[in-house]
Amino acid sequence: MKPRTKTIIWTTLVVVIVVAVGVPLTVFKLYNVPAGSMIPTLSVGDRMLVNRLSYALGGEPKRGDVVVFVYPKDESKEFVKRIVALGGDRVSWKGQAVLINGKPISRRRLDQPCSYDDITEDGQAEKRSCVLFEERLGDRGYRVIQDPGGPMPADFKPITVPEGHVYVLGDNRDNSHDSRYWGTVSRENIVGRVLVD
């Protein structure tokens, strides 16, 4: 075999290995869930797989997607939340119900026991009780929890989501630092979509 032919074969083999191993590592990334804001979908310590090309190749975020994004108030941090509204949507509240363009997100209470482990501000573990709901955004169903009898504060002002932005909420509705407190997320700050059932 000629040296040039050997070089071509080895180069091809190296490229195939790099593509086979390297591309998935750049497209997908494993993250650890650091907090309980996405319970019951994601629990503290869960490992989640994020597709970092979900929206990079022309795909558009959809209501119901769970995404990792750069936190707008501190770009050294990345958060995970669920998209509930897109650019142009008007988000408002009626009690605990979320309204998108004047229509409440479809939800029903599930008659199942509900509790979860939380960490207090002083680092202590505590068991919290909750109420479990199933919500639907379009054809996508998912579960959310709320503290029993905990009404939504009245100061969440209606907001129209700017174009090129999304409005995100945690599935643990009474224990999530999300768009209600600090506003919308620019599409450019979305790292990728979390692969969840």
Where are the chain's structural domains?
33-194
Read off the pLDDT of residues 18-77 as tens digits, 9 standing for 90 and up: 344 444 445 677 878 878 899 999 988 888 889 888 887 778 999 999 999 999 999 999
Q: Is the pTM of this model over 0.75?
A: yes
37: annotated active-site residue: yes
| Annotated catalytic residue within 2, 6, 73, 81 | 81
Q: How confident is the model at residue 10 (pLDDT cuts 50, 70, 90)?
A: very low
Q: What pLDDT score does 40 carry?
A: 93
Q: What pLDDT score does 152 carry?
A: 59
What kind of architecture, by CATH, is found in domain 33-194?
Ribbon (2.10)
Choice among 3-17, 69-83, 153-167 with the minimum mean pLDDT: 3-17
Residue with more model confidence, 150 or 129: 129
Q: Provide the token pair at 41.
A: 């979908």
Q: What pLDDT score does 124 carry?
A: 75
* Parallel, antiparallel or unpaired: strands 165-169 and 185-186: antiparallel
- Closest to 37 measured CA to CA, from 148, 166, 123, 146: 146
Residue with more model confidence, 16 or 92: 92
Residue 169 has pLDDT above 50, yes or no: yes
| Annotated catalytic residue within 6, 29, 37, 94 | 37
Angle (nearest 5°) at CA 159 between 175 and 192? 60
6: annotated active-site residue: no
DSSP letter for each residue of 114-139: -EEEEE-TTS-EEEEE-EEEEEEETT
What gap in Å lies between CA 96 and CA 174, rounded to an integer?
10
Residue 8 has pLDDT above 50, yes or no: no
Q: How confident is the model at residue 16 (pLDDT cuts 50, 70, 90)?
A: very low
Q: What pLDDT score does 151 carry?
A: 57
What gap in Å lies between CA 40 and CA 191, rounded to an integer?
22
Q: What pLDDT score does 74 carry?
A: 92
